[in-house]
Chains A and B, each alone.
Chain A
Amino acid sequence: AQTVTQSQPEMSVQEAETVTLSCTYDTSESDYYLFWYKQPPSRQMILVIRQEAYKQQNATENRFSVNFQKAAKSFSLKISDSQLGDAAMYFCAYRVYNFNKFYFGSGTKLNVKP
């Protein structure tokens, strides 16, 4: 069974500081994608970053980067220089290559303190 676990229901970070959100997943597949999605109060889901499992290099998108540990099945998101606009729910998601189903974690609510 495919499962995605986010063990931190809620986290807080000071503006301009760095925060790391955790995600682990369970799979027997070797080819898959991992994603972090952001859901702000508007509830619009926004893709933050994605990682292909076959790539060893960690993905980065400006202030967002991931720490992908394939053997440990861990996929954490690091947000540097946190901004007030980063406050949102963050969902970790997984998808098997060439299979049309996404699995989402339970989400982590990120609060950014001014």
Chain B
Amino acid sequence: GAVVSQHPSRVICKSGTSVKIECRSLDFQATTMFWYRQFPKQSLMLMATSNEGSKATYEQGVEKDKFLINHASLTLSTLTVTSAHPEDSSFYICSASADFATNEKLFFGSGTQLSVL
């Protein structure tokens, strides 16, 4: 199956700093990438959808200025948590689809555990 690489797997940062998480599709071109947030023992909450070369679409309640998403190429999307605070601590997962119209499958990265001190 297709491989989505997410990096870093774990990051600890100080409150007020920014953290960048990378999501790469290794063996296919991802026209659409999704960013999810998962709290302990809870489901995945969609944060935003990004299409290559265009602005991300954020879900209601997600601060676009805090969670900056860039999808500059067909193989790379980044999520930057700006001025991180302890309440931003969470597990973040990216996912990608090759051709959403015809490929209904979603491939997931391995996730990033963010801890803000």
Which A residues contact B (CB, under 8 angstroms)? 33, 35, 37, 42-47, 50, 52, 91, 95, 97-98, 100-102, 104-107, 109
Contact = CB atoms under 8 A, between A and B. Distances in A.
28 contacts: A33-B104, A35-B106, A37-B108, A43-B38, A43-B93, A43-B110, A43-B111, A45-B44, A45-B108, A47-B1, A47-B105, A50-B105, A52-B104, A91-B44, A97-B104, A100-B32, A100-B49, A100-B100, A101-B46, A101-B49, A102-B106, A104-B43, A104-B44, A106-B42, A106-B43, A107-B41, A107-B42, A107-B43
Contacts of B49: 100-101
Given A33-B104, A98-B101, A105-B43, A45 B32 contact: no
Contacts, number: 50
Contacts of A109: 41
Contact of B111 (A33, A44, A50, A52): A44
Contacts of B105: 47, 50
B104 A95 contact: yes
Contacts of B41: 107, 109
B77 interface: no
A45 B108 CA distance: 6
A43 B95 CA distance: 13
Instruction: Report, nearest first, the 9 A-B pairs whose CB atoms are least far apart.
Output: A45-B108, A33-B104, A100-B100, A106-B43, A104-B43, A44-B110, A104-B44, A43-B111, A100-B32
Contacts of A45: 44, 93, 95, 108
B34 interface: yes
Nearest to A32: B104
Interface of B: 1, 32, 34, 38, 41-44, 46, 49, 91, 93, 95, 97, 100-101, 104-108, 110-111
Nearest to A33: B104
Contacts of A100: 32, 34, 49, 97, 100
A42 B43 contact: no
A42 B110 contact: yes
Nearest to B38: A43
